[in-house]
Amino acid sequence: DIKSLIDSGDCVVVLDTNVLLNIYRYSPDFSDFSLNCIRAVQEHIILPATVRLEYGKHCRAEFSKMKSKIKDAQKTTTDQIKRAKDKVLATCDGLERLQFPDIGELRAILAEQLDEVQSVLEGFFEDRVNLEFVSHAWNNTDHVQAIVSWWDQNGSIMQSPTQEDIYAWCEEGENRYKKEVPPGFKDAKNKDGVRKFSDLILWKELLRFAAKEKKNIIFITDDVKADWWELDNGSKVFHQKLIAEFNKTGQQIVPLVSHEFYSEISASYGIEKPDVVELALRMTDADYCRKI
């Protein structure tokens, strides 16, 4: 029960960078829902300095992508239908070469049906343009940046690591990664320099904050690699080595991925879920793959 933990006064919520950046990648409905959940507890959220730095580096690019994605949504889908139509009608040529009868009639019926699909799409966007769905407020305002600015102004950013801290943590990271001690060892091959230790630096910030401030932490991350989570009887659980290391601070950590966090906040604080959000939150990985 996240609300009970927060109301206790000895617990803070910490967001990983990927949680903030993923908001730009959702549909407008899902983005609004996730932001409403975050706003409900924003006074209890603390950002590690590493998260604030990484978010600042990538937020403009992700915001631009989101604006383009909304603007180009109709064109992208129309292009997909056109390509599908071309491919389907091209198969009729092959049937015609094989002397199948009535191919002209088949071609005409298929073209008519595919034109109907296009009409459905056009009607969908016409309705939603009238409701200002596609010309969503995200085109003008970066709502994530607004919340992050609030945290900046209200001192909700952890103390920045010193150069000495970073040097020591990177040196420690070299030894940890060789032994595959989490977190971050999965980044060793794909990143270089200090960047490959960003997860470890984030983790060190959490440990230091919890020990110094005597706070339990609800940690939200969408990084589900094996250097954060492990399998236990087929289910993903937070890595036991991380839990053991965190327990040395004298505090407790409650790890969640963002969709679990949003579900909990929605239920506890009465945040309304649009139907599309309810579907997405209930969808398992297997469901998602089947739909694709």
Sequence-ordered list of residues with C-beta below 8 angstroms from that of 219, at least 6 positions apart, any chain: 14, 16, 206, 253, 254, 255, 256
Chain segment 262-275, per-residue pLDDT in tens: 999 999 999 988 77
In this prediction the pTM is: 0.74
Chain segment 134-170, per-residue pLDDT in tens: 344 555 678 999 999 999 999 999 999 999 999 999 9
Question: Quick check: 277 pLDDT over 80?
Answer: no
Chain segment 229-268, per-residue pLDDT in tens: 998 888 889 999 999 999 999 999 999 999 999 999 999 9
Q: Quickly tell me which residue has 């239920």 as its tokens.
A: 267
Distances (CA, A) of 133 to 4, 81, 137: 36, 22, 9
pLDDT of residue 189: 75
